[in-house]
Structure 1
Amino acid sequence: MSDISAMHPISRRSLLSGMAATSALLLLHPFSARAASNQAHLRLMETTDIHVNVFPYDYYADKPNDTMGLARTATIMDTIRAEATNSLLIDNGDFLQGNPMGDYMAYQRGMKEGDVHPVIKAMNVLGYDVGTLGNHEFNYGLDYMFNVVGGSNFPYVCANLTKGNLASDPKQDELFFKPYVIIEKIIKDGSGAETPIKIGFIGFVPPQIMLWDVKNLEGKAQTRDIVEAAKAWVPAMKEEGADIIVALSHSGIDGAPLADRMENASLHLAGVEGIDAIFTGHQHLVFPGPKSWDGIAGVDPIKGTLSGKPAAMAGFWGSHLGLIDLLLEKDGQRWRIVDFTAEARPIYHRDEAKKVVADVADKAEVIDAAKAEHEATLNYVRTPVGKTSAPLYSYFALVADDPSVQVVSQAQTWYIKQMLKETEYKDLPVLSAAAPFKAGGRGGADYYTDVPAGDIAIKNVADLYLYPNTVQAVAITGEQVKNWLEMSAGMFNHIPAGSKDAALLNANFPSYNFDIIDGVTYEIDLSQERKFDNDGLPVNPQANRIENLQFDGKPIDPAQKFVVVTNNYRAGGGGKFPEIAADKVIFVAPDTNRDVIVRYIVEEGTINPSADANWTFKALPGTTVTFESGPKAKQFLGDLKSVKIEDAGDGAEGFAKFRLIL
């Protein structure tokens, strides 16, 4: 194994600036330019979390978008390949679901024998060498996933997805895919001589797919802990002759202590002996990148290392290409790493006015590969299904009751009452839990729902509800309803009374876990500490952020039973909400939440999504807080009746800043 942790990686920029070289040499990465006769430069390139974004096109907004698209990432690949003597291309998962093209292919077009999915067509054009699975590969079911990956010209690996119960030894697990592949590649060394090297790739998926896609996987599959699987299979890769071992981890970076079946386990995975480099994903972040993981032991976000080993995470939707460059040296019969750099190279930048500027054009071959499906998707998403009497937008979804969430709750309540009317639960009061999916954050300053009054098309429904979740309902008590809301209130920082312009939003709390529960009214007291941490564990058991919680105009009875309609992710334990898990589920729908919203709009003809202000913040006189939203939010300030919000100038990265007066 290479002793990577003892190295002092150099930056590509410092190497280039220190080289007295010709302009021709400057086109090469320094490792290619300086490699000796017994050395070779190997460039590993990663895409991750593509989510079917082959085209630089936002189907939800129905317009081009220069921040996304594998067709753009493909263009920078050409330049990046040219900078290196030797290269390999991998995909790190979540390629199959995530935009309307994915839904069109799964729900409308289907996969007939001999068909090749457009995202796979694009990958085949680009010559990928290996791929692994992400959690969203399972959203449409196992059979569909296997049909799709069967069209690829490259292998898929996954070491912790099994066909049944786990064996006592991970190496005895019956796996759906090979746990790893070892690619024997002929590489050129510094003298131009060609010599073979064996590079091993091992893949991992978050174990939580068994919660998130229980409908598709229960009784058909099982998952093993990522680190446990790695410790079993990496030695076998060494025994098989792998010179270099690269982990393809569709799992993010988390500084928490190692725990069984950890979702974001890449830091601990990098610590497994024998792994030389690691590609990560799942979190939709960029690594290396300063500030994202400052202060986490074992993470160097500047050099791009996890546990001292080179690592990269390439953003999402094709926004970046992850790069790990290895300077290899032949040590007897084996290759070892003597130096490395890591980078995530973007496809766009923002100018001084914070506007997005594309750095590259489309790669024609990729566009051509998926053009027919792209045009069919456009027809699919433009189909009208009804009208809305008021605009639907999510610019203030994290700070006030919101029309885009309201219509989801209206549709869910309408649906579940029909489904339960002949069951033992027909007389229980129905509540609805829904969260804003497009609320800026890591998605950027344009990542908001914005549907004008008038016609609603399928693209608008997909914009309201991004994921193909299915409807589920749970039966819980009034006390559990309160704790559900206490968990959701983790969206907000602690704001002592009298604070001036304190940051309101907790950047580490995902917006899709900020559930609004309709059917009750309540206030959120920001002067109280949060009751639960992000794992649903009580950190301030005596705290009570949720105040004046009422049902039917009266204080909620902690013992009263309620039906809460939600989605399969939340009902199955997604987000780790206290006491919300599969044992509380009373109804599992055959329909997706999106389909329910479409049916509701069709049934109503014209919907009225006006927010009913069933929740608000408790007044804290003399206290103000700030938050960021999209610049277009300013035009809707006059719509807000339950809160006082004012323009507070510019935010970062193209966002606008607002002040909330408590």
Structure 2
Amino acid sequence: MTVSTLASPAFLTRRTLLAGMGAASGLVLLHPFAAHAAANQAHLRIMETTDIHVHVFPYDYYGDKPNETLGLARTASIIDAIRAEAGNSFLVDNGDILQGNPMGDYMAYQKGLKDGDVHPVIRAMNLLGYEAGTLGNHEFNYGLDFMFKALSGANFPYVCANLTKGQLASDPTKDALFFKPFTIVEKTVTDGSGATSPLKIGLIGFVPPQIMVWDVKNLEGKAMTRDIVEAARAWVPVMKEQGADLIVALSHSGIDGTGQSDRMENASLYLAGVEGIDAVLTGHQHLVFPGPKSFDGIAGVDPVKGTLQGKPAVMAGFWGSHLGLIDLLLERDGKSWKVVDFTTQARPIYHREDKKVVADVVDRADILTAAKPEHEATLAYVRTPVGKSSAPLYSYFALVADDPSVQIVSQAQLWYIGQMLKDTDWKDLPVLSAAAPFKAGGRGGADYYTDVPAGDIAIKNVADLYLYPNTVQAVKINGAQVKDWLEMSAGLFNQLKPGEKDQPLIAAGFPSYNFDVIDGVTYEIDLSQPARFDNDGKLVHPEAHRITDLKFEGKPIDPAQDFVVVTNNYRAGGGGKFPGIAADKVIFAAPDTNRDVIVRYIHDQGTINPSADDNWRIKALPGTSAFFESGPKARGLIASVKGAKIEDAGEGTEGFAKFRLVL
């Protein structure tokens, strides 16, 4: 197998894509493999969707507004044109279709699936001519019965070689599987001379073994999982014996170069090394491959050519943002075929101009029609209460006192991580939660605050609590690192002079999303001290300690004691440059977004109590006060603030109200 010199040909640019769609001109630009194949050569294009997460419509249900960056209806609109560029082609899906937005929750929790019903995402996919699909980890979120009912409506087979009905056999090929491990698709391909020949394509699927942790309540005693690479090594020879000319792995598993280990979550790099596999379709990580940045510097990975251990691979983003393409030039040698060249690409449905999103494609009308009833029902669902709050959720004072909008995020994170870690090596460690206010004025303006009244909470209100599609992660750190985490957060504030009145409180240039509050400990912030770290996490005042009286369970925190801190992937991965917090501290990377966890928590609790527990406050400095700004609506909430004395100080700038913090 050789690497093509055509890895980034001009015909793959957005302009030529649009020209290739050429409704006006009818022009179709063939891939060079199709245009120049010899008499014994054929071009085969593999098309991948992955991590659709029920996003059929280009719509953000949390924000209750259209979104140009997502939707299978958008991805679908380029499939016909992309097929036309190829000599021969087929389409597969790489998993995570049933859960991930409120339509998925509506189908599982509200409407349900009766015998004969077809899930709307499956109904849409049936129109696109998929050859096969594999399972993603999120297929299991609603239980096995729901998954089987949903997938039974597909007009194409599902394959998964490492999900078993019970204990693992000594030989993986003897495992009792829920699905066929693979399927062999027989195609008639046209070569460069116009002659046709048979081609048998083997498609084998894999799911992350970690579903047994992530969905233990749905799977315990009912299923088991096997290591991805182990299963592949056993089944690929069987596929060869059954006549597969070409073997493509549908791997709902990402790319991790830290070294092969048993039951890896992101095993696609090592899966590519299995003899007999010709191409790997990846997913799960919600990233784009080939592409820059995400996978640079990993041995065995070429993020420009799109190869894993020299074999073609692709990851097509998420939510329909891209269509993954692997183009193979096949050569017939007697009765067998071999790959002699290839290109890979993840083709987007949009681009950005001056930070604005510009759609490259339009909706495919029949795909929208297929899911329209459920889309409209989902809109009603997200606008309908799914729980109640016993207290208002607002962020007007989140930067000066413990805050209910941050409190509820921490409560949900702690509820979730308790389930996730209960059967792990970290189950006995104390767990803390870090969360920050996202909507806290600033450049967003005087109305840019969370404001949900007590009473009914609708799903779309969760977007008011948690703006970003982050995923839950947990890190293991010690008590000294917990303190440094809080010291970094305390950089939000200016240093105050004791005894001086009406000083500016909030430091310019410090984003509110980096002001983490850690629940599970109690502490005070002494603003007579300078900030210990600058905004880049550099130690600038070694003698300074703003965080005082830091306690765990009522006792001074032990600097050497280990803690688990649940947060989000941005912070756990080093976002905000918090000292000592980086990817090497991560012990758990969840498949779920923080927003989904909050929705599940509200659904589970029925009525939530987000009242701030006053676990932190700014330390008293007699005779000292400071000014800060907030939204005008904050005036009516002053009396409800715990742990801080606040006074109305008149009008602020640009529509803000001015307040005085009396210390």
TM-score, scaled relative to structure 1: 0.70
User: Which secondary structure state, in structure 2, belongs to the residue aligned with residue 129 of structure 1?
Assistant: strand
The correspondence for 1:292, drawn from 277, 294, 297, is: 294
> C-alpha separation between the residues in 2 aligned to 1:522 and 1:178?
58
Once the two structures are TM-superposed, the CA of residue 392 in structure 1 deviates from its matched residue by 5.5
Change (3 A) 1:349 1:432: same
Query: What is the DSSP-based 3-state SS (H/G/I as helix, E as strand, rest coil) of the residue aligned with 1:126?
Result: coil
Cα displacement string for residues 599-642 of structure 1 (whole angstroms, at most 9, x for unaligned residues): 868566xx66x7958399xxxxxxxxxxxxxxxxx998x99x99
- Is the Cα–Cα contact under 8 Å of residues 41 and 327 in structure 1 kept in the other structure? yes
Question: CA distance change for structure 1 residues 9 and 146 in 2, over 3 Å: closer, same or farther?
Answer: farther
**Other-structure match for 2:602:** 597
Following TM superposition, by how much is the alpha carbon of 1:434 offset from its aligned partner in structure 2, in angstroms? 6.2
TM-score, length of structure 2 as denominator length: 0.70
Answer yes or no: is the 8 Å Cα contact 2:38–2:193 preserved in 1: yes
Task: Output the amino acid matched with 1:103.
Answer: D
d(CA) in 2 for partners of 1:258 and 1:635? 51
Amino acid across the alignment from 1:409: S
Deviations 1:404-443 (A, max 9, x none): 4422335789999xxxxxxxxxxxxx9863657999xxxx
Matched residue, 1:13: 9
RMSD of Structure 2 on Structure 1 (CA): 5.0
* Partners of 2:396 and 2:284 in 1: CA distance: 26
Sort the Cα spacing of 1:211 and 1:307 in 2 relative to 1 into closer, same or farther, 3 A.
same
Amino acid of the residue matched to residue 68 of structure 1? L
Q: Which residue in the other structure is 1:363 paired with?
A: 364
1:143 to 136, 142, 145: 145
Contact 1:451 1:460 in 2 (8 A): no
Question: What residue in structure 2 maps to residue 154 of structure 1?
Answer: 156
Question: 1:148 aligns to what SS in structure 2?
Answer: helix
Distance 1:326 1:593, change over 3 A: same
Q: CA 1:490–1:556 in 2, change beyond 3 Å: closer, same or farther?
A: closer
Q: Note if contact 1:52-1:101 (Cα within 8 Å) is conserved in structure 2.
A: yes
Alignment counterpart, residue 333 of structure 1, candidates 332, 335, 344: 335
Partners of 1:340 and 1:437 in 2: CA distance: 47
Q: Is the Cα contact below 8 Å between 1:461 and 1:597 reproduced in 2?
A: no
Q: Deviations over 1:345-370 (max 9, x none)?
A: 0001111x210011111111110001
Count residues with an aligned counterpart.
Answer: 540
Query: d(CA) in 2 for partners of 1:492 and 1:344?
Result: 38
| Partner in structure 2 of residue 127 of structure 1 | 129
Tell me the distance in 1 between the aligned counterparts of 2:487 and 2:365. Answer: 43
Deviations 1:489-540 (A, max 9, x none): 69999x9xxxxx9x999xxxxx9xx99434533889769x99xxxxxxxxxx
Query: 1:44-89, CA deviations, whole angstroms, 9 ceiling, x for partnerless residues?
Result: 1111111111110000000000001001000111221111121111
Partner of 2:551: 550
Match of 2:268 in 1: 266
Alignment-derived partner of residue 323 in structure 2: 321
Q: CA deviation at 1:9?
A: 4.1
Q: What residue in structure 2 maps to residue 215 of structure 1?
A: 217
Is structure 2 residue 377 aligned with structure 1 residue 372?
no
Distance 1:433 1:331, change over 3 A: same
Counterpart AA for 2:599: R
> Structure 2 unaligned runs (5+)?
418-429, 492-506, 526-530, 538-544, 569-582, 590-595, 619-628, 635-642, 645-663
TM-aligned CA deviation for residue 301 of structure 1: 0.5
Partner Cα distance (1:13, 1:393) in 2: 52
Counterparts of 2:559 and 2:92 in 1: how far apart (Å)? 52
**Do the aligned partners of 1:66 and 1:356 also contact (CA within 8 Å) in 2?**
yes
1:191 is displaced (CA, Å) by 2.2
CA deviation after TM superposition for structure 1 residue 188, in Å: 1.6
Q: Give unmatched runs, 5+ long, in structure 1.
A: 417-429, 440-444, 472-479, 496-500, 506-510, 531-543, 568-574, 582-590, 617-633, 643-662
1:193, CA displacement in angstroms?
2.2
SS at match of 1:27: coil
Amino acid at match of 2:6: I
Query: 2:127 is paired with a residue of what secondary structure?
Result: helix
Larger Rg: 2
Name the CA shift for 1:602/1:274 in 2 (closer, same or farther; >3 Å): same
Deviations 1:324-347 (Å, cap 9, x if unpaired)?
011111111011111110000000
Secondary structure class of the residue paired with 1:242: coil
Mapped partners of 2:436, 2:336: distance in 1? 52
- The code of the aligned residue for 2:602 comes to I
Q: What residue number does 1:407 align with?
A: 408
What is the CA distance between 1:242 and its match in structure 2?
0.8
Within a 5 Å distance, the mapping from 1:450-469 to structure 2 comes to 451-454=450-453, 456-461=457-462, 464=465
Instruction: Tell me the equivalent position of 1:80.
Output: 82
Which of 230, 235, 247 pairs up with 2:249? 247
Distance 1:432 1:492, change over 3 A: closer
CA deviations over 1:119-168 (Å, ceiling 9, x no partner) = 11111111111101111111111111111111111111111111111111
The aligned counterpart of 2:59 is 57
Does the CA-based 8 Å contact 1:381-1:457 persist in structure 2? yes
Q: Which moved more, 1:548-557 or 1:56-65?
A: 548-557
Rate the CA distance shift 1:144–1:489 in 2: closer, same or farther, 3 A.
Answer: farther
Determine if contact 1:250/1:280 at 8 Å carries over to the other structure: yes
Task: Tell me what 2:204 maps to.
Answer: 202
